[in-house]
Amino acid sequence: MSYATSLDYLDWTGKATAPAGLGRVLEVASIRVDELLVGAVYPVDAVGNPTDLDVKMVLRNATCEQALYMLELGDTSGAKAGMKSMTIGRIQWQRAEPKTGSPGSSEKYAPAVLDMLHVFGLRPTSVIRLP
């Protein structure tokens, strides 16, 4: 289930019409946001949806921003993430050098999404060990 609807996307982007396939893009964008939330702690209901209104808002906005990023890149599947070059005639692919740094710092994720989740405290940066 997506954290955002087509109407949320239109509100976030200020666009008048939704691009074709937006529902699927929002689903994939929600999965990208979920990937960045692994290890995050926030209240959820019985099916795992956030219950805090501020958390819901951040996840909705992050999903919309991630969808916008994917659409603007022309890569709604993530297949081009880390791609250095690509040629279609006579097919030639070349991957970029692996990035160093924190996990989730590749072109797969919108930089604004990384910032949103970090600022709101939803981007885990360390392990919390409970006694």
pLDDT tens by residue, 112-121: 999 999 999 9
pTM of the model: 0.77
Q: Which of 17-26, 49-58, 95-104 has the lowest mean pLDDT?
A: 95-104
Q: Which two tokens stand for residue 114?
A: 């990384």
Q: How far apart are CA 93 and CA 84, in angstroms?
A: 8
88 CB contacts (<8 Å, ≥6 apart)?
Answer: none
Q: What is the mean pLDDT of residues 35-39?
A: 92
Residue 79 has pLDDT above 80, yes or no: no
